[in-house]
Structure 1
Amino acid sequence: MARTAAVVGGGIGGLAVAIGLRRAGWAVSVFERGPSLPDTGTGLGIWPTALAALDALDALGVGEEARRRGRPQGSGLIRRPDGSRIAAIDVDRVVRRAGEPVRLLARPDLLHLLAGALPPGLVQFGVRITDPAPLTREFDLVVGADGIHSDVRRALCGDRFPVRYAGVVAWRGTAAMDIATGGETWGRGARFGLTPQGPGVTNWYATLAVTEGYRPPDGDRAGLLRRFGEWHDPIPRLLAGLRDGEILRHDVCDLTPLPGYVTDRVALLGDAAHAMTPDLGQGACQALIDAAVLADCLGGGVPVPVALRAYDRCRRRRTQRLAAVARRVGRLAQARRFTPARDVLVRLALAVGPPA
């Protein structure tokens, strides 16, 4: 008789681990609080290690389909507000190290790709699980993949390991614009990023070092134009073409490091376990790798407590180290003082190369 697993959360990590567990012979149910998969969202950079995780999760070609749908990310620049160059982002280095590029894939496309590898009806939408205890009596395993504000984590840990404000508020969205290359522009306590997503579509984001919960008094678009309107082209032009309803705003947060990701019957993965700031572009990638490792540990009839401890040993230190680096990179990029020294440091860091 197949072992049973309940996955709380139908995002990238939850859908991915459901695929992997089913491949390992488990009977899986996924509970997602949202009403359906989203149809809108910005792009994600899927690194070679995450593509390899997709290959490991599914023999039916999810990894290859992600490669087909994704657009290879090109090299870019980190610049100052006047357009002068701080450093180059050499994405070709990733190809030389890993054998393939980072792929840019819109979040909804990745979610629909993962969901399409599962049987219809396996994901139950509109179901919020606030306490995993009843699930542990019904299922052999419970996976908390329910995001940074995880109810499963709160049930396990209480409020001892809170979500932390990282010191910046972010705005993001897509714009009907073509750009030749992407990259970031770093000012004093402010940053603006651009990434080509596809023909006629550009991902953009902006961050400001402000108090938690900050809202521009005259609206997001006007506030962004006031802060970034004199930066180099095409930033003012992009912002001028937006409407307030197209702009997403949120506080940037990460998670206080947990002493463990598992109990005997419950495992946390993705943002529920190690939510990190977006400064390394690794959040979705690490959720996919978590899913592949967890499914692998739980294969072959290994007892659940033993498998979960192996997963924790494999993933906790690695992901918490990445989260700490991401937080430091964010602080460096948002520096208000000593920006010439900051620019030297980032050139040295990029000379070593990004994480593959």
Structure 2
Amino acid sequence: MEILVIGAGVGGLAVARELLAAGHRVRVYEQAPARRTGGKAVLIWSNGTAVLHDLGITLDGAGNRIDRIDALTSDGRLRTGQNIAHTADRFGFETKAIARRDLLERLADGLPDDLVHYGKTCERMTQDGDRVTATFDDGSTATGDLLIGADGHHSIVRRHLWGEGTVHPATFGTWQGLSPIDIDLTGTHRHLMITGREGACGLMPAGDGLLQWWFDVRWSPADPHPATPLTDLRNRFGHWASPVPEVLAAATDDDLEFFGHHWNKVRRVWGEGRITLLGDAAHTMPPTLGQGANQTLEDAWVLARELVKDDTDPSSRLRAYEKTRYPQISRVSRMAKRNPANWRIPPLIGRLFPETSQTTLLARFSNRLTTPTPRPADDQPPPPHAQPTTEGPSAGRTSRRQG
């Protein structure tokens, strides 16, 4: 089949690789003038690295392995600790923090040079029998058998299918940076989540001397940005325990990006006819579970496997993909939206349960998000596996969405 993909972010490149490997003809259209290099760092849990492995992509030599996530109070006391290294032992896939630009580079490596058409903003799409046509802002068109909207939470494909007003603002936004900050934490495999009355801070070593850092604050779309955001962050969080003051002292205004977070209710049927959605276009969610990029990779994995099945009606395979993904992604989305990590003082779980008990509970909790699948034989591609995550301040963060 000839398949059009709108969007060349993580989801668009991943599904293009999967579909090309299955023998389909693929064209990708991206509104940016070139491959994007922003977006800071991404946390790829074991389920994400399993999909990447199936794509023939290794993260060896890039990013930084994350073995544990510790949640601290703003005065430096340990609130909870989670050992996530056990997932690599159990499933064979590590959790890694990697710069988004490096992940995109690895997803693009080996793809045909003419696969992605840059500077193409999709404005509308039409279906006529067994063909679907995308029209771009320069007046050009592209026609194929199927169209996949992988164009993020501002998705034009989703607006075409669902109409306006289906994505809603969350209650918080994030100031973040990816910087060469020389503190002890930067050279470790330990990810910190710190919460207090002023908001939340995350610190995640991303390899090559880089530290992914962010500050979550209450936000609504009507809120104006502060004139000097870094000064505002220093005034708000600078009294917190080390290493927060050191990070703020080393940060520069050039490091800063802001993202207001959004969510949408996941639908049982995402697409229509020969059009479907993938990733944030279908399930925008706050980053409190660290699963945005990972669930996008799982979307690509499941969709490609549906499209290799023999069926005279390809649109039925798209509906089967949506039906397969709905139970899990709706659960993950609801949990991300309801996660109290940023705004409530968590219960005294660290005092009530020792770390060994927390790790056991974490493994059981993971199974609610991704049904574990037995490891395949050596000659079979691995499926996405269960990943650790948690409803609480020790949950990781995903990429900042704007790939």
Q: TM-score, normalised by structure 1?
A: 0.90
Pick closer, same or farther for the CA change 1:351–1:168 going to 2, 3 Å: farther
Is 1:318 the equivalent of 2:311? no
Shift in Å, 1:37:
1.2
Pick closer, same or farther for the CA change 1:279–1:345 going to 2, 3 Å: farther
Q: CA offsets per residue over residues 47-86 of structure 1, 9 Å max, x none?
A: 2222222233x3xx22xx2244342112131001100110
Within the candidate set 220, 245, 250, 2:229 is matched to 220
In structure 2, the partner of 1:148 is: 153
Distance (Å, rounded) in 2 between the aligned partners of 1:168 and 1:342: 24
CA contact (8 A) 1:141 1:265 kept: yes
Is 1:104 the equivalent of 2:100? no
Question: SS where residue 279 of structure 1 aligns?
Answer: helix
Shift in Å, 1:344:
6.3
Pick closer, same or farther for the CA change 1:246–1:350 going to 2, 3 Å: same
Shift in Å, 1:288:
0.8
Is 1:117 the equivalent of 2:110? yes
Is 1:279 the equivalent of 2:288? yes
CA contact (8 A) 1:213 1:251 kept: no
CA contact (8 A) 2:197 2:343 kept: yes
In structure 2, the partner of 1:136 is: 132
Distance (Å, rounded) in 2 between the aligned partners of 1:342 and 1:141: 51
RMSD, aligned CA? 2.2
Letter in 2 for 1:324: R
Within the candidate set 205, 209, 221, 1:200 is matched to 209
Pick closer, same or farther for the CA change 1:105–1:293 going to 2, 3 Å: same
Is 1:166 the equivalent of 2:170? yes
Pick closer, same or farther for the CA change 1:223–1:342 going to 2, 3 Å: farther
Question: SS where residue 168 of structure 1 aligns?
Answer: strand
More off after superposition, 184-193 vs 252-261: 252-261
In structure 2, the partner of 1:26 is: 24
Is 1:238 the equivalent of 2:251? no
In structure 1, the partner of 2:342 is: 334
Q: TM-score, normalised by structure 2?
A: 0.80
CA contact (8 A) 1:13 1:291 kept: yes
CA contact (8 A) 2:269 2:319 kept: no
Question: SS where residue 4 of structure 2 aligns?
Answer: strand
More off after superposition, 132-141 vs 218-227: 132-141
Once the two structures are superposed, the pairs formed by residues 10-89 of structure 1 within 5 Å of their partners are 10-56=8-54, 58=55, 61-62=56-57, 65-89=58-82
Letter in 2 for 1:174: L
CA contact (8 A) 1:148 1:255 kept: no
Gaps of 5+ in 2: 134-142, 367-386, 388-403
Question: SS where residue 136 of structure 1 aligns?
Answer: strand
Distance (Å, rounded) in 1 between the aligned partners of 2:79 and 2:300: 37
Within the candidate set 184, 196, 206, 1:187 is matched to 196
Pick closer, same or farther for the CA change 1:91–1:219 going to 2, 3 Å: same
Shift in Å, 1:239:
1.1
Question: SS where residue 231 of structure 1 aligns?
Answer: coil
Letter in 2 for 1:333: A
Shift in Å, 1:132:
2.1
Gaps of 5+ in 1: none
CA contact (8 A) 2:62 2:207 kept: no
Instruction: Report the count of equivalent residues.
Output: 344
Pick closer, same or farther for the CA change 1:318–1:159 going to 2, 3 Å: same
Question: SS where residue 296 of structure 1 aligns?
Answer: helix
Distance (Å, rounded) in 2 between the aligned partners of 1:126 and 1:312: 29
- Which has the larger share of helix? 1
Identical aligned pairs, as a percentage?
32
Within the candidate set 226, 229, 239, 2:238 is matched to 229
